Structure 1
């Protein structure tokens, strides 16, 4: 499928976009991501620990979406059609990250990596913990950083010459794709995260954070749809598939951006609602357990109280009988004395 410099691609079609067209750096990246994750999950299962299968499925689906937009014909079309590039951008920044985060990779790494042996310095696990606690991670995962970054990634890239510059080089294109994925992961981490992180806002705050980025995203899509001139010069009539109207294609790219914002929002809201319900349920269970323990404690205290009353009564009864005996003895003695 690769037509790098081999004449223009045939007109875009879904079947052509889904054809296998491996791009080695992405392929390697995906193989590593999947291999390492599954190795970690298998290590836990072998050990007899629990690791939810759903998380492994989410991670696999996430890696699958990355493959789908980078190692298929879509990636080739993404070099010559704005709309195809935008599909890649949206999936990598808004769908793959959500699925990958639902896989809870950090939690898995923390549980699967063995602590370093005493005296052998820091192992990978210690480095990961140190990184999670570092000021750097605290800053880059803070909503005040991730939301502007998420928005700027759209505006700065397409409304300045940066996009055209990066697209000239293979490594520029690679870096751009990785950037989309990384920014998406950072943006959704505090919101979606099953994983531990420096920022764990409450559920209401998470929903607000989610909605703070979305209007900018939608507005960007509309701005692209309404732009009269070509925003970027990379996509030219010379390289486009024959019969392409570049302006229509740019409008389609804007439409894709605008519409795509709704999909992850819906997925995230559903996932958040489920997580919220689950955490409420967990808290309720915790309260029940506490109540059970307290209830037992109260019951035990009450039993002890009853026992103490019994002891008191028994003691008094013993005291009374002793007293009566003494009285009788005294009476008998008095009788004898008379």
Structure 2
């Protein structure tokens, strides 16, 4: 791998400091969000808090709820509506993780066994539905039709993105534009909504809503494109799942799209066998990585990610300088440079 690409995956002390600074800015609110999440996971049906708690306790940096908390600070909000809405965002995200792991037949997430690996497929699907319901209860409690509109639309778009990804999972003819459509729906929609509602609770004008929506969407796309690249470059311990899982599951990610487009017929035949026909054998992952290196597909994917990251940063230009704006900029840097 070219040294420039390798450098992207070395989250140095400065990158970690940026994340820690961001977390410190919302530490009090984030603790309230975590307590609310635990409270709202309670149910008379014991399996629900047990299974939901398994994935919530499994780690994660709470990036999406932090977006809501910091965006509300950026917009000068002084109340506490952001607490329930940040919890709502995390419930939506957790529900999608439960469903994703079942669809993808994943055994590992953030270095721990997935819920479906522990309880089978049925329970995680149903508990995911429960968490979606809890999210909508929190939206109703907030009482804002605008918030409800934004988060309900995001939930529908995410579901569409999941189905679209399922349809294109083994379609090696998927174009870069088509892949980005999936990413916008599956990942970026919740980033966008989480950021946008920070302006809504503060009663800010439509222009600021749109700026934060654009920030979140572009950040979410950059975040996912880095994930696409990490699947072929990170270590298992860093990635929190087995390296090459996307490849083995027949997922058409951006590095694969770019390598297929640049490859000769022999190379394309390899991608058709491994991705479309789902016929893999020993050594295929190493060969796939070699093809990605040959065509600079990982570096090109990271370049796309950096482009979207800069669009996210540019969307903040209309906001005044301050700790919240700096934190959102730091989050852009971290999402690009992260390796853990």
Q: TM-score range by the shorter chain?
A: 0.3 to 0.5
| TM-score, length of structure 1 as denominator length | 0.33
